[in-house]
Structure 1
Amino acid sequence: MKNIWSTLGELRGFLILWCTQTLSTLGSAMTNFALVIWAYQQTGSALSTALLTVASYAPYVAMSIFAGALSDRWNKKLTMLASDTFAAACTVAVLLLLATDNLQIWHLYGLNALNGLMNTIQQPAGDVAISLLTPKKHYQKVSGLRSFSNSLVSILTPVLATALLAFTSIQTVIYIDLATFLLAFFALAAFVKIPEAAREGEKEGVLRAARKGLAYLRDNRGILNLMLFLAAINFTASIYNAALPAMLLSKTGSETALGAVNAASGLAMLVGSAIATLAPAPKSRVRVICNTLLISMSTENFFLAFGQSTPVWCLGAVLGWLPIPLMNANMDVLFRSRIPVAMQGRVYACRNTLQFFTIPLGYLAGGALVDRVFEPFMAAQSADGLLAQLFGLGKGSGAALLFLVLAVMGILTCLIFRRVKSIWHLEGIEQNR
């Protein structure tokens, strides 16, 4: 008990920030979920709703590399408060447009783009704030807790948002979002003291400071290649995210299977987050990252490709998502331990560009591959052919075939990057793999 109270005392600032920001994130996620449903009801187009995600990621990816330089130079607490306030103002704008019956889909594209732009500054500031609030010995616990809260938000968002929409209205969801913002804002402003890191290059221009972030990655190839590894995985994962609803909704004709698979994924991540929080530090964090990604890529996609029932798909989801929090926690510790705090904002911002630019590309590629390549290809197969026997007939069989391709892509990606020596040198070791 003495150790527990000591740990809680050392993590007091982080825990306050983590709890209140998690509630605010849940509120924002519920609003986004409700607006996706609203957009689909208005347009009847899956592409129009997918573009909501693209609109958020495009400015985030494009501008992150420059915003990180500002994040390193600005006060972290004030940056986070200003960013949260801007996001709340966008939410208020949506509420007013709804109240006057003037909300259009293009309004959401514009507001999502503005929020994505603001996130380019908020996200690296928040990451650095976590490093400043957390003693290094607790990095893995903190990473596990953050993964746990992200998993919890993923599970609760559709449940709570759907219930509120069924019994109240979209305006109620937005009011709850604004209430959680006020709580998080007040807690950060009044109860969290973020130490100031040493600031480098106070008088440098943004472009020169951003180049320093890129130069750091150029000189630290292990960190750069680890980011590129995750970029390749994100591309495969984004195609997966685009194809999953198409396959499950088409094959089953209802939302039950999709909801069950998403719930199984969220619960698996909760368990994985608990393991990551409680587990001792591994001997090789790089080995954990490589192995967990290989397990994830080599299980779920095969179950989705060849499975013909919801329990089989759910089992695949559990096997695929259980290792991910362990990967995230160990990667986070590697980054925080190896990157100087004074440089973290710039380097994390470069990471946001390099590691996440594949996400919107993956979403667009996934939709196009399902609709224009794999579904037409499977529709042309004979009923007694091998492919029809393996992946089924009718709509959704093309997406199932795509999951087999994704499994192969994921495995090859893991095996290729596993042989990159600079990644293993992050721990000062080179192992026989």
Structure 2
Amino acid sequence: MRIFTLIWFGQLVSLIGSGLTQFALGVWVYQNTGSVTQFALIYLFTILPSILLSPLVGVLVDRWNRRNCMILSDAGAGASTLAIALLLVIGKLEIWHIYLAVAISSIFNAFQWPAYAAATTMLVPKQHLGRASGMVQLAEATSRLLAPMLAGVLVVTIQIQGVILIDCVTFLVSLVTLLVVRFPEPKTTTDNEVKKSWRLQEFTYGWTYITARPGLLGLLIFFAVINFLTGVVSVLVTPLVLAFATANVLGTVLSIGGSGMLVGGLVMSVWGGPKNRILGVFGFSLSGALSIILAGLRPAVPVFFAAAFIYYFGVSMINGCDQAIWQRKVAPTVQGRVFAVRSMLAFASLPLAYLIAGPLVDGVFEPLLAPHGLLAGSVGKLIGVGRGYGIAFLFVVVGILNMIAIAFGYLYQPLRRLNQQLPDAIADIV
């Protein structure tokens, strides 16, 4: 746990730095272009390369030392961030530079998550995996809480390029913590040994492993659907809040969301999550869906504050429960390949969400709730009419679709009874 905690601290610092850059660049792009679609493309290039490379990355993570994979990830992502800073300093930064830089960073980040998750299984006893997952969520929550507030102050005092240079320094902190530790390696057997040939089976092994276990497959499909729906919401939070408030309020909303995630991460770290973690996933997904509907029905600053806290508290609990399930149910020697496929398929729906969110708002939902729009006399009387209310209406639709997806997931018995029907793949450690 001491080694894990040291690595966790380095990742925490790096996450805060990345959060500073993400917030500063996001606001800069939206305010300079005024286009939801161009803003959403940043999200697309952040996620798409890592999804496409996941099958190859999974094989490499199982073959290579997982510590070295994380070092490679931090070094590459830090270099791409430094390139943005240099372009800003010389006054040559353009929108396509940002797309290219975040795409390169995404390639290196593809190694980070499966290596980090698989290494955690070897570092932390099984009975504490829920707490370790809570600590990971706590780190992300701390970034969400601190980064918007710090970025708002630092952009004014040291400019955007200064913020990004701070991000580069945080990558160095993460690298140092990785360089001073060693990771235990999983024991291989003849059944799950990683072969040295580049056969097709090595790239499809993760998919074969998951499909042979209906509960895990159901969990994967459930998250693919939920991620698509919440992906539409996540890319529209900034335009929605900015339609009704200032950038400072946006930073506060994101910080309150981060505080909700922080509290959720603390609860998960201490508690370890419910014994039946599948029910925890369903329950907190439902609370998230209700908070999305609330934000859409009453788009006002106090409502944004409450909805952000409730939603992100649930995110910590959902992700903590989900991570602990996969770490317990998948053999450590194959977790690189399985987790890479899991990441690829669970998040494969996000690029589509990011692509359609902007056109849906600009071409459909905002015109519907314009002052003389088609739904101005019906839905407009319930929600409101004018700039931003089309986005709010889309939030309501997405929240309802989330609830439908949760109902279908609960009715699928192999998923609902996953804890009981699928035995753990790792032994208890005394």
TM-score, normalised via structure 1 length: 0.90
Aligned position for 1:116: 106
**1:402 and 2:394 equivalent?**
yes
Which residue in 1 is equivalent to 2:86?
96
- 1:256 Cα deviation from its structure 2 partner: 4.8
Shift of 1:41: 5.3
Change (3 A) 1:47 1:339: same
Which residue of 2 is the match for residue 307 of structure 1?
Answer: 298
Matched pairs, number:
417
User: Is 1:245 paired with 2:234?
Assistant: no
- The Cα offsets for residues 285-307 of structure 1, whole Å up to 9 and x where unpaired, read as 1111111112221x212211221
Q: Percent identity?
A: 32
Match of 1:62 in 2: 52
Whole-angstrom distance in 2 between the partners of 1:28 and 1:383? 40
Match of 1:369 among 354, 360, 363: 360
Contact 2:134 2:266 in 1 (8 A): yes
Cα 1:372/1:12, change in 2 over 3 Å:
same
Q: Tell me what 2:334 maps to.
A: 343
Q: Secondary structure at the match of 1:351?
A: helix
Cα deviations across residues 151-175 of structure 1 (Å, max 9, x unaligned)?
Answer: 1101111111221110112232233
Q: Give 3-state SS (helix, strand or coil) of 2:177's partner.
A: helix
Cα distance change of structure 1 residues 358 and 15 upon mapping to structure 2, 3 Å threshold: same
Q: 1:163 to 1:207 in 2, by over 3 A?
A: farther
Structure 1 residue 275: Cα displacement? 1.4
CA contact (8 A) 2:26 2:39 kept: yes
CA drift at 1:369: 1.5
C-alpha contact 1:40 1:49 (8 A) present in aligned 2: yes
Instruction: Tell me which amino acid in the other structure corresponds to 1:375.
Output: E
Aligned pair 1:296/2:288, yes or no?
A: yes
State the Cα distance separating 1:418 from its structure 2 match: 0.9
Q: Where does structure 2 lack aligned partners over 5 or more consecutive residues?
A: 423-430
Shift of 1:248: 2.8
User: How many Å apart are 1:324 and its aligned residue?
Assistant: 2.3
Q: In 2, are the aligned partners of 1:382 and 1:388 still within 8 Å (CA)? A: no
Contact 2:268 2:320 in 1 (8 A): yes
Displacement of 1:142 after TM fit? 0.8
Q: Which amino acid aligns with 1:107?
A: H
1:348-370, CA deviations, whole angstroms, 9 ceiling, x for partnerless residues? 10011100011121122222221
Over 6 Å off, 4+ runs: none
Contact 2:11 2:139 in 1 (8 A): no
Alignment of 1:11-410 (within 5 A): 11-40=1-30, 42-190=32-180, 192-199=181-188, 200-205=193-198, 207-250=200-243, 252-279=244-271, 282-297=274-289, 299-379=290-370, 380-381=372-373, 385-410=377-402
Instruction: Indicate how the Cα distance of structure 1 residues 246 and 82 shifts in structure 2: closer, same or farther if over 3 A, else same.
Output: closer
Take 1:383 and 1:177, find their aligned partners in 2: how far apart are those partners? 45
Q: 1:54 to 1:133 in 2, by over 3 A?
A: same
Give the C-alpha shift of residue 429 in structure 1: 5.2
> For the Cα contact (< 8 Å) 2:82–2:165, is it kept in 1?
no
- Tell me how far apart the structure 2 counterparts of residues 385 and 24 of structure 1 sit (CA, whole Å): 49
Q: Distance between the aligned counterparts of 1:206 and 1:99, measured in 2?
A: 46
CA gap 1:259/1:232 in 2 versus in 1, 3 angstroms? same
Shift of 1:280: 5.2
**2:137–2:265: 8 Å Cα contact kept in structure 1?**
yes
Name the SS of the counterpart of 2:206 in structure 1: helix
Which residue number corresponds to residue 421 of structure 1?
A: 413
User: Does structure 1 conserve the Cα–Cα contact (< 8 Å) formed by 2:23 and 2:151?
Assistant: yes
Query: What TM-score do the two structures reach when normalised by structure 2?
Result: 0.91
Counterparts of 1:384 and 1:34 in 2: how far apart (Å)?
Answer: 35
Relative to 1, partners in 2 of residues 1:102 and 1:322: Cα closer, same or farther, differing over 3 Å?
Answer: closer
Aligned partner of 1:3 in structure 2 is none
Deviation at 1:254, TM superposition (A): 2.7
Distance across 1 between alignment mates of 2:140 and 2:23: 15
Q: CA separation in 2, counterparts of 1:21 and 1:211?
A: 30
Quote the offset at 1:203 in angstroms: 1.2
Q: Secondary structure at the match of 2:369?
A: helix
Instruction: Tell whether the 8 Å contact from 2:296 to 2:396 is kept in structure 1 after alignment.
Output: yes
Q: Find the aligned partners of 1:206 and 1:172 in 2 and give their Cα distance.
A: 46
Taking structure 1 as reference, are residues 309 and 335 closer, same or farther at Cα in structure 2, changes over 3 Å only? same
Distance in structure 1 (CA, Å) of the matches to 2:311 and 2:86: 41
Q: Which residue of 1 aligns with 2:425?
A: none
The answer to whether the 8 Å contact 1:225/1:423 transfers is yes
| Rounded Cα–Cα distance in structure 2 between residues aligned with 1:81 and 1:393 | 50
Q: 2: CA distance between counterparts of 1:54 and 1:16?
A: 32
Contact 1:30 1:158 in 2 (8 A): yes
